[in-house]
Structure 1
Amino acid sequence: MLRTTKLPFPSPLFLVLVTSVVLSNFTALPGTAFAQHLISMMRPAEGQFIVDRASLLKQADYETVERLADNLLKSRAAPLIVVTISTMAEVGGEGMSIDMFARTLFDQWGIGPKTVANENWNRGMLLVVAHDDRKARIELGAGWGRSHDKDAQQIMDELMLPHFRQGDYSSGILAGVEGLDAMARDLKLPSKSITSRPIKASDLWIAGGVIGLAIFSVVSLVRRGTNGWAWIFWGFVFTVVVMVMFKSRSSRRSGYSGGSYGGSSFGGGFSGGGGASGSW
C-alpha cells in the first residue's frame, strides 16, 4: 500500500518574502510601477538626441534640434530628448495614456544625470509626439520639482499645437524644442508664431486700468506739478515691480554653472518633475 506524505504549507512570512522579491523586479526604477520595459524602443546613441520613428522632422529642423539639444546639454546639464512615433501601441504602449507612456519611457531610458558635481540634479527633458494618436507630451525629470508645469503647458499650447493642427509637425517640434531650451536657460519663452490669443475680458480691464492711471498722472502733474501725488504713486509702483522681478528671478533655480558639462544624456534620471500634455 502506497504511503502519501503531506508537504508542509509555506508559512505566511515565506509568502511575504517571495512576493516582495517578485514585486521588486517590477519596481526597480522610480516612478514606473509595473510599467518598466513595456516600451520596445532603443534610446538614441550618446551624442544624439532624436528618435524620429514617424519621420516628422525635416532635415534642416532635425539638424537644428540636434544642435540646440547638444548645446543645452553641455551648458546646462539638461539633456533634451525628442521622440516621434506613429502610435504608442506599435512600441508596446497599447492602452497607455500619453502621460504614462512618456513617464515610462523617461524612466526606462534613465534620461539625465541624477547628480552633477555632488548636487541632486535630474533635469532631463523628454518630448514625445504620437502622430496617429494625435497626442504629445513634455515630461520633465524630478529635479524640476513641478515648478515649470505652467511654462511647459504654454510651450505645448502656444508653440507646438498650432503647428500640429495645420499638419506642420516639423515646425511644431522645433518650436517646442526652442521653448524648452529657453525654459531651461531661465529665459523668456518665445512668442507664439501662428495664432494669437483671443482678447479676454481681464485684458480689457487691465488696459482700462492702465489708461485710467495714465489720465490720473497727467491730471495730477498738470494741477500740482512735481508736488502732486503722481510722482509718489509711480515711485511706489516702480519699487513694487522691481521687488517682484528680483524675487521671481532669485527663486528660479539657475542652471549648471560649473563650466562645460561633459557627461552623458542618460545617467539614471527619472521622471516626476511635471510637464504638459496636449492633443489636436
Structure 2
Amino acid sequence: MAVAAVLRCVERLLAAIFFVLMAGAAMAQGVLPVPALDARVIDQTGTLDAAARQSLDAKLAAFEQKKGSQIVVLMVPTTQPEDIASYANRVAATWKIGRKEVGDGVLVIVAKDDRKMRIEVARTLEGAVPDLTAARIIDEQMKPRFRENDFAGG
C-alpha cells in the first residue's frame, strides 16, 4: 500500500515537472509583439491586396465618420503561443481603439493559420455588441466568406 502511494506521488511530481517545462517552453518562445497601430486594416499575412485593404479602410473610415465608433482589423498568421482571446485583449489594451472620452472601439482579429477569429469590443459597446452578436457575426458573415477565400468580404 505504501509503495502505491509513493508511486502516485512520483507520478504527480513528474506530471508537475512536465507541465512546468512545457509552460517554460511556451514562455521561451515569447508572445507576439503588438504591431504599431498605423492603419484601420493591418494585414500581416499578405492576404489582402492593396485595393482590398483600401476599400475596407474606406468603409471603416465612413463608419467611423457616421457613428463615431472606431473599428480596426488585424490579420496575423497566428497568435501562438497565446490563444486568440489573450492576444486580442493585449492588442486592444495597447491600442486603446475608439474615442478616448467614450471608449467605443472594436478590434477584429483574424489568425489565419490558426483558423480563429475574434471580435474584441470595448467596454462601452458591450451592450450594443454582446458576445452572442459577435459570435453570430463570425459564424454567419465571416466564416462563410473566408471558406470561399473572400477575406476582404469577411
**Same fold at TM > 0.5:** yes
Gaps of 5+ in 1: 1-37, 116-120, 173-280
Aligned to 2:33: 40
What's the secondary structure of 1:169's corresponding residue?
coil
Contact 1:127 1:138 in 2 (8 A): yes
Give the superposition deviation at 1:39: 4.2
Q: Flag as ranges the 4+ runs of structure 1 deviating above 3 A.
A: none
Aligned to 1:50: 41
Aligned to 1:101: 87
Which structure's CA Rg is the greater one? Answer: 1
Deviations 1:221-255 (CA, angstroms, capped at 9, x unpaired): xxxxxxxxxxxxxxxxxxxxxxxxxxxxxxxxxxx
- Larger RCO (alpha carbons 8 Å, 6+ apart): 1
Q: Whole-Å Cα distance in 1 between the matches of residues 70 and 36 of structure 2?
A: 13
Aligned to 1:59: 50
Contact 2:77 2:114 in 1 (8 A): yes
User: Which of 121, 143, 151 is the equivalent residue of 1:140?
Assistant: 121
Aligned to 2:111: 130
| Equivalent position amino acid for 2:110 in 1 | V
Aligned-residue RMSD, C-alpha: 1.8
Contact 2:108 2:117 in 1 (8 A): yes
Aligned to 1:110: 96
- Normalized against structure 2, the TM-score is what? 0.71
Deviations 1:163-198 (CA, angstroms, capped at 9, x unpaired): 2223332332xxxxxxxxxxxxxxxxxxxxxxxxxx
Q: May I ask how many residue pairs the two structures share in their alignment?
A: 123
Q: Describe how 1:135-214 pairs up with structure 2 within 5 A.
A: 135-149=116-130, 150-172=132-154
Give the superposition deviation at 1:137: 0.5
Q: Whole-Å Cα distance in 1 between the matches of residues 87 and 53 of structure 2?
A: 23
Q: Whole-Å Cα distance in 2 between the matches of residues 71 and 166 of structure 1?
A: 26
Gaps of 5+ in 2: 1-30
User: Which of 71, 82, 89 is the equivalent residue of 1:80?
Assistant: 71
Contact 1:122 1:143 in 2 (8 A): yes
- Normalized against structure 1, the TM-score is what? 0.41
Contact 2:104 2:123 in 1 (8 A): yes
Q: 1:72 to 1:147 in 2, by over 3 A?
A: closer
